[in-house]
Structure 1
Amino acid sequence: MIIPLDAVDTETLHNIIEAFILREGTDYGEQEATMLEKIAMVKLQLQQGKAVLVYSELHQNVNILPAKQFNQAAATPEDY
C-alpha cells in the first residue's frame, strides 16, 4: 500500500529516508554525497513520483521502492 507523503510527519519521513539510505548503501557516483544530500535526493524522488513510500502488511514495515518496481510488485499483492 502506498503511503501518501502528506500523511507522514516531516521528521518521521526524514527518519524513514535516513534508515533506507543506511540500509541500502546506495552508490551515488564518483563523489560521495553527505547524508543530508542523500536524504534530499531520495525525498526529491519521492516528491517526483519516481519512488514511493510503501507499507507492507505482510512484513509490517515501511520501505521506499522505485515506482516501477512497486508497480511490477502490485501484480503480486501477497508481496506488498
Structure 2
Amino acid sequence: MLIPYDSIDTDTLYRLIESFVLREGTDYGEEEVPLEEKVNQVLEQLQEGLVVIEYSEEHESVNIIPRTDSF
C-alpha cells in the first residue's frame, strides 16, 4: 500500500527518511555527505514523485522505493 508522504506528520516523515538513509548506507562518492543533506535529497525525490513510501501489511514495515518499482 502506498502512503502519500504529505499525509505523514513532518517529524515522523523526517525520522522515516533518516532511518531509510541510515539503513541503505548509500555510497555518495569520494566526499562524505552529511545526514541532513541525504535526508533532504530523499525528501526532494518524494516531492518530485521519483520515490514513494510503501507500507507492507505482510511484513508490517515501511520502505521508500522508486516509483517504477511500485506498479
Range class of TM-score, shorter chain? over 0.9
* TM-score of the superposed pair, with normalisation by structure 2: 0.93
Map of 2:9 onto structure 1 = 9
SS in 2 for 1:36: helix
Bigger strand share:
2
Percent sequence identity is 52
Q: Corresponding residue for 2:55?
A: 55
The root-mean-square deviation of aligned C-alpha atoms, in Å, is 0.9
Question: Is the radius of gyration larger for structure 1 or structure 2?
Answer: 1
Runs of 4+ in structure 1 deviating by more than 6 angstroms, as ranges, are none
Deviation at 1:3, TM superposition (A): 0.3
Q: How far apart, CA to CA, are the structure 1 residues paired with 2:23 and 2:8?
A: 20
**Taking CA–CA contacts closer than 8 Å with sequence separation of 6 or more, which of the two structures ends up with the larger relative contact order?**
2
- Deviation per CA, 1:23-79, whole angstroms, max 9, x where unpaired? 1101122222100000000000011010001110111111100111222xxxxxxxx
